[in-house]
Structure 1
Amino acid sequence: MSAGSGAVCGAAAGNVSCGSGLCCSETGFCGTGTSFCGGSGCQLSYAPACDGNQTPLGNDTSKTPRPLFGNVPYGVGISHCSVAGKVALSFDDGPYAYTTELLDLLKKSNVRATFFVVGNNMGKGHINDASSGYAPVIQRIAADGHQVASHTWSHQDLNAATREQRRAEIISNEIALADILGAVPTYFRPPYTRCGGACLAELLAWGYHVVNYIDTRDWQDGGAAAKTTYQAILAQHSPASSAWLALAHDVHEFTVHHFTQFMVDTARALRYDLVTVGECLGDPPANWYRPFTWHPSERQC
């Protein structure tokens, strides 16, 4: 029997599922709206209506050939750049309301960065749905010379997900990104950097470089310590012998309006070059995406 609106649900409530059209929130209650259904908080196994359980329109990418090309390792966590003197700025969880402003700032500063895109989080709608308005933003990210990578479909903890749920998090985001860009990224960042042995093995099979990071903590306490954290990390060694892969989030107003320019100015003052993740790993742009093939019968409806 399924639970109704306001009822308890989920693993902590005896594995009770919510009824049709309802979502099981992170705190274990059935309901509707972003606070129940949006992104990583929704308990996928107990609510079919969770955003993460919705499949985007687009061509199924799961049969795309997955050759492993280039010299960057696949299916292992990468936390540092390998080319000395580089800093790779990366932004997670978008696109969002501030992403266009961030692109304007990066263009003015002549900086290329990497965007780890989430397909359907924070109640923003599917990124390839015309009504969301995000497809042109992602197309601009690529057109401006930035790197587009995957950060899952709905920002679920992959270690807590089932194998089938992990697959859906990977493939649904591919479907949406391929619909927008005509290609599938080869770079992937697990939410919370949680990706154990089974998860890494699956990402290897799907042909992904798994990128972790040095966390600036721009998400914590309104970014209170982010500038100090970032500056201290970069100042540890000289550009002649070190390189850094920094994480921030384009879903935070602080990051776009106050922190990004600081990151750019600090890196340049310390004589680091600002590049994409692929560039900081010595990987040419041709390796950042793979083409995909499909048949009309595989169209998702």
Structure 2
Amino acid sequence: MNYLLIPFLVLIAGLSQAAPTGNCNTTQIANITHLQANSTHPLTSALPYGAVLTHCTVPGTIALTFDDGPYIYTAQILDTLAQHGARATFFLNGRNKGSIDAFSDLVLRAYEEGHQLGSHTYTHASLDTLSYQEIIHQMTTLEEAFVHILGFFPTYMRLPFLRHSPLVLTAMADLQYHVIGASVDTKDYEHDDPVSNWISFEKFKAEVDAGGSVVLAHDAHQYTVELLVVNMLEEVERRGLIPVTVGECLGDSVGNWYRTKR
């Protein structure tokens, strides 16, 4: 990772102001220290805020993304990704099937293994049905949970059900969130069994053939984890594509993926 060189005293001051309360190893704390030191600088991302992004811009890359976790199957996905040397993006909920607090160890593990973490709102509410204040509350409540575990929160998010309205996108722009859609939607939640899971895989292949590159799946479904992820990664390898995080596939520096304060 490339970070700006910050004087030592600034690094120490940043760490003391927003130290995480989760269990972090030395590498984790070092990474957080850099993020906190850089938090006094404006974000430098060239990507728009409050606009839906659906395709990678870096040639030869593909971004596998997983919504609705962390959950009991997330560890197995992390194992599979590690076996294939792949990085992915996890859009997390505060409370959905699981709880970000109950699975804080998996949140830490995913981050430490090089995956990108994003917001999927606190309770997976359909934001297009909420008021502006309720939308903000969904996002900032999850930010607080991220800070409790990691010491920082993401600048990337995915809308539950992919639903939005002008008000929702205005709120995301106000909060400086990059909104990630999908150009490959596996619909894996419709085929969460060993008999029909192949339908999601065929949909994956067809939509990649059509130029799709940001892939939507879920780490809260058993057969996504046990079948679909392996099949997708093997197909990605067969095609000679590089499975990376959303930030990487959009050419955005890792220093722009998270922030420590508003």
TM over 0.5: yes
Q: Which portions of structure 1, spanning 4 or more consecutive aligned residues, are displaced by more than 3 angstroms?
A: 64-68
1:89 is paired with a residue whose SS is: strand
Match of 1:90 among 56, 65, 70: 65
**TM-score, scaled relative to structure 1:** 0.70
Offset from partner CA, 1:109-156 (integer Å, 9 cap, x none): 11000000001112x34x22xxx2x11110000000000000000000
1:145 is paired with a residue whose SS is: coil
Higher RCO (C-alpha 8 Å, min separation 6): 2
Corresponding residue number in structure 2 for 1:231:
205
Corresponding residue number in structure 2 for 1:162:
131
- CA drift of 1:224 comes to 4.8
Offset from partner CA, 1:183-226 (integer Å, 9 cap, x none): 11000101011111111011111010000012111111323510
Counting only pairs closer than 5 Å after superposition, residues 11-160 of structure 1 correspond to structure 2 as: 67-122=42-97, 124-125=98-99, 127-128=100-101, 132=102, 134-160=103-129
Offset from partner CA, 1:14-35 (integer Å, 9 cap, x none): xxxxxxxxxxxxxxxxxxxxxx
The separation in 2 between residues aligned to 1:224 and 1:169, in whole angstroms, is 34
- Assess, with a 3 A threshold, how the Cα gap between structure 1 residues 243 and 83 changes in structure 2: closer, same or farther: farther
Contact 1:67-1:207 within 8 A present in 2 as well: no
Query: Tell me, which stretches of 5 or more residues in structure 1 are unaligned?
Result: 1-57, 59-63, 237-241, 294-301
Instruction: Report which of the two structures shows the higher radius of gyration computed on alpha carbons.
Output: 1
- CA drift of 1:69 comes to 2.2
Contact 1:88-1:274 within 8 A present in 2 as well: yes
- Percent identity at matched positions? 36
Contact 1:185-1:290 within 8 A present in 2 as well: yes
**TM-score, scaled relative to structure 2:** 0.80
The separation in 1 between residues aligned to 2:44 and 2:232, in whole angstroms, is 32
Query: Tell me, which stretches of 5 or more residues in structure 2 are unaligned?
Result: 1-20, 22-38
Structure that is richer in helix per residue: 2
* Matching of residue 219 in structure 1 with residue 189 in structure 2: yes
Offset from partner CA, 1:32-69 (integer Å, 9 cap, x none): xxxxxxxxxxxxxxxxxxxxxxxxxx9xxxxx989442
Contact 2:43-2:256 within 8 A present in 1 as well: no
The separation in 1 between residues aligned to 2:189 and 2:212, in whole angstroms, is 23
Corresponding residue number in structure 1 for 2:7:
none
Root-mean-square deviation (CA, aligned residues, Å) is 1.8
The separation in 2 between residues aligned to 1:269 and 1:224, in whole angstroms, is 17
- CA drift of 1:178 comes to 1.1
